[in-house]
Structure 1
């Protein structure tokens, strides 16, 4: 299918031309028929020889309805620019052409109507002169009369040639359907219509419904195209979508149905305005941004110039689902003036807080044309999730370095070099805590995720218990602490479960920090706060307790281990936590055998009792 939008001054015969080509009156409202004036968008379709199915979006030509006109032509790739032979080029002809030019519409047909009322040649010559220098310069032209039928066959033939030259959209691409109508059908519920520019819609699809108030998930209950029920529809096409679970008041013109994860709902964006005058004051501070069928008031902040183009920060009053490269139309409603185009360069721009930030931003955006490019985005953003790149419209070709994170070339290598220095500084400042905690390293490197710090670790650095250490640094203790630990181990050599008390630890200079460092280094084993034993103490205790009749009491365990109640109770709890022992309802314990199975009751070590 092809979709064509009309454009032109009021009462120049747009609707009459569509009626003659399709046999359907696009004016559907009673007031339109009474006044003979198109007020809202009209729709009609026909089979054209050489072109197949062609749907027409008929737009109003009166100056009061320019926003409605823009809602109709925004998503449509082909224009039918209509000029009356007896009226010639008029103000709305110029405004509609400026809009088509700003939107980048390059395929179209100039039709001079009412050729039965006046010589079409002057109007045709004037229109060609106006089209020169715009995106529609050089489009073919035909004169016709909807009343006599003269020239209509030529309109059909030339229009078919124009449509044949329009590039086919990507049927496999994401969907973004701008809603131009929403209504309710009894027994079906809410229905929205729009021009599907690319991608494929199917019944049963789940889409994001992006509105000014938020985003919600909507399911496609049914589809129609050209008044026929269909299971799927691919762009370009006019479609009616029956939405399940969406009330009529929740959706309207300017909202959009989008493939989840394939656009960014944003209210702040940076745009390039091609050829926007000579000075930064060309754009008014308040304007209206048109995107698809949406029209949103916005504030503009000129950033600076890049050659003949103006770079502008736009702050929208309501967010829109946009991607890089989107072409917006900027309009001054106070002067009824189309200001030009805005090509989206960034849908997630950084805040401009510091002095000189605008100039720095211009340097950052310089040379960008809006084409989604992964290398460019990685260079500017340094670190970004693949899902965010895809949402911005970027085709992701590289592999993530950690999780879904993609980074600029060389960034991890530079981060690794800096990380080595940070680890050395940390070790010098706090020798009792060898190794830089991952979170501290993440903050120092300015990275958004600890996984990226891990990806930056290169030998001789290594990751040990959530810390980045240099080589064997995690196992090294300051000489003073090493001597104290050696003294503790000497004390434990004869009585392995007689943990040193607080006085002995103070005497040796082993405070909380020193003990923690010794435990991290694997030189001591922590049983509880202030209770440390030699490495492997839990396993040795379990072997010793296995020699008791099972189950055993805490008092029996204390005597078997040759230690005090201060040590025995936390040691038994530690054995329970390590699943080396199991505590019963009567507070007796038994040593667990292999695989966590209890040892049999009776003889030491779990041996079977003698049978009588």
Structure 2
């Protein structure tokens, strides 16, 4: 299927011509048919002589309805431009052609209607002259008369040639379906329509509804129709009606978009090339992208480059072409070619001019992925893909995050310094936490810290430690451990109570530091023994009849149940004892010598 828009002045007979080509009524409202004037978007379709199916988006011609016209033209790759032989070029025709030109529509057919009422040749020559300065300069031209049928066969042939020359769509691309209608059908629920320019829709797919200025939510496709018939799948390019499950039709409006999840990034700040004259235009400009119309402030950077601040974020990608319009003057300002959807702030003197030069270089060809990553420093891979930039091969990958390699080198050095500084300032701790290092380095996610950790550093229990650094204890902690060790000399398995540990000044942090230094064994929280106590316990247990019970082990070790239970469990985990089905144990490995 192919989709084109019909554009032209309100009195040029666009709808009449579409009716003659398709046998369908494109005007949906009784008021339109009564007044003979298209107010909103209309839709019709036909089969061409080649068998190709062609859908028409009939857009309003009156100047009061230009926003509706742009909503229909925005996602469409080609156009049928209609001019009347008895009226010629009109001011509204000029705005329609300017809009098509700004949107980069290069595939078109010119229909000179009412050829039965006036000689079409003078108008055809005049229109040709005007189109010569636009992207539509090579449009084929056909004089026609809908009432008499004159030229309709030739117009169908020209449309066949047009669709044959259209570029093949990317049916594997992420979906971005701009909504142009939302309504309810009894028994089916909410239905939205739009022109699918890329990608493929399938029943059962889950998409993201991006509601302009109203947030995002997941939605599921209940059913699909194209050209009035059920269809599944629906590949681009196509007019499509999407039946959504579990959502009110009032929750979806023109200008919203259905998106492949994680396939698009929304932005309200865009750096772009603006092909148009910004001098003398009003301040209340509107950016038209797809079916969306968003108020925008434009800051010229230099040359054709500008920074656009949108009133709300829109799903946008580098390479998108949009239209900038001054509604107060009914004037198309020019074409907007999106270059960067996540531009960095302009804070230094001369930053705008430097940015303009950078953008001018980027506009010469596809963006350099490494240069884009270098500019961002740290960015999500999904963000790059959504803005049309492939993941650079040089990137340091941290989950979904990408880090510029030179920045990663600097951050890695700073991370090592931070670990060393922490060791000097807080030797009782194993090392700084991953979260504290994330904040210190100014990176957005702990995954970035993790990928920066390299030998001799390692992450242990949520902290970054130097595994080659010899453990050392502050003097007060070392003295407390020595005192505890002396007390345990007589009864090495009589672990001190919490009150005694507190009296010695050995809290949780101090005990953890002593364990790392190898001077104490923490069997479990609240049970502390001298270093090597597990080997000594095995030596004792090896001397009693095998297998043995918990009670026998407790008596042999001269300790309490509070200590014996976790100590035996520790020996089991380390493979020094084996627990039998009847809860008795036996020693697996006896030490070579006793203590």
Q: TM-score, normalised by structure 2?
A: 0.85
Q: Write out aligned runs for 1:273-422 (5 A).
A: 273-277=273-277, 284-296=282-294, 298-302=295-299, 304-306=300-302, 308-317=303-312, 319-349=313-343, 365=359, 367-369=361-363, 374-396=369-391, 398=393, 401-422=397-418
Deviation at 1:539, TM superposition (A): 6.3
In 1, Cα distance between equivalents of 2:489 and 2:380: 55
Residues 397 and 49 of structure 1, relative CA distance in 2, 3 Å threshold: farther
Asked whether the equivalents of residues 320 and 338 of structure 2 are also in contact (C-alpha less than 8 Å), the reply is yes
**1:531-584 CA-partner distances (Å, limit 9, x unpaired):** 74322435645775795974549xx94x75457xxxx57635754885969xxx
Determine if contact 1:51/1:163 at 8 Å carries over to the other structure: no
Q: 1:221 is matched with which residue?
A: 222
Q: Distance in 1 between matches of 2:66 and 2:52?
A: 30
- Tell me the distance in 2 between the aligned counterparts of 1:223 and 1:524: 69
**Alpha carbons of 1:451 and 1:190: their partners in 2 closer, same or farther (altered >3 Å)?**
closer
Q: Give the match for residue 165 of structure 1.
A: 165
RMSD across aligned C-alpha pairs, in angstroms?
3.8
Query: Would you say the 8 A contact 1:106–1:136 is kept in 2?
Result: yes
The aligned runs of 1:568-607 (5 Å cut-off) are 571-572=563-564, 574-575=566-567, 578=570, 594-595=578-579, 597-600=581-584
Once the two structures are overlaid, the 10-residue window that deviates more, 160-169 or 424-433, is: 424-433
CA distance in 2 between counterparts of 1:521 and 1:250 reads 62
* Residue 76 (structure 2) pairs with residue 76 (structure 1): yes
- The CA deviation string for residues 320-344 of structure 1, in whole angstroms up to 9 with x for no partner, is 3322322222222222222222233
Q: CA deviation at 1:28?
A: 2.9
Aligned CA distance change for structure 1 residues 390 and 573 (closer, same or farther; 3 Å): farther
- Give runs of aligned pairs for residues 161-310 of structure 1, distance below 5 A: 161-212=161-212, 213-266=214-267, 268-277=268-277, 284-296=282-294, 298-302=295-299, 304-306=300-302, 308-310=303-305
Structure-2 change in CA distance of 1:375 and 1:409 (3 Å): same
Residue 442 of structure 1 pairs with residue 438 of structure 2:
yes
Count how many residue pairs are aligned between Structure 1 and Structure 2. Answer: 581
**Structure 1 residues 414 and 6: alpha-carbon distance in aligned structure 2, compared to 1, 3 A threshold:** same
Counterpart-to-counterpart distance in 2, 1:538 and 1:349: 60
Secondary structure of 1:475's partner? Answer: coil
The match for 1:589 is: none
Compared CA separation, residues 243 and 471, structure 1 to 2 (3 A):
closer
Q: CA deviation at 1:98?
A: 1.4
Q: Distance in 2 between matches of 1:91 and 1:394?
A: 40
CA gap 1:156/1:249 in 2 versus in 1, 3 angstroms = same
Q: What is the 5 A alignment of 1:448-467?
A: 448-467=444-463
CA distance in 1, matches of 2:54, 2:87: 28
5+ unaligned residues in a row in structure 2: which ranges?
Answer: 589-595
3-state secondary structure, aligned to 2:361: coil
Confirm or deny that 1:137 pairs with 2:134. Answer: no
CA distance in 1, matches of 2:278, 2:252: 41
For residue 96 of structure 2, give the secondary structure of its aligned residue in structure 1: helix
Distance 1:227 1:471, change over 3 A: closer
> Contact 1:263–1:393 at 8 Å: present in 2 too?
no
Q: In the TM superposition, what whole-angstrom CA distance separates every residue of 1:230-252 from its partner, at most 9, and x where no partner exists?
A: 22211111122222223222223
Check 1:16–1:328 CA distance in 2 against 1; reply closer, same or farther (3 A cut). Answer: same
Secondary structure at the aligned position of 1:594 is classed as strand
Residues 180 and 293 of structure 1 are in contact (CA less than 8 Å); yes or no, is this contact kept in structure 2? yes
Q: Deviations over 1:454-501 (max 9, x none)?
A: 322233334444433345215345688668756755664554235689
In structure 1, what is the equivalent of residue 517 of structure 2? Answer: 521
Q: SS in structure 1 opposite 2:167?
A: coil
Alignment correspondent of 1:475: 471
Alignment partners' CA distance in 1, 2:206 and 2:446 = 33
The equivalent residue for 1:86 is: 86
Give the distance between the partners of 1:410 and 1:528, measured in 2 at CA: 44
SS in 1 for 2:240: strand
Distance 1:239 1:47, change over 3 A: same
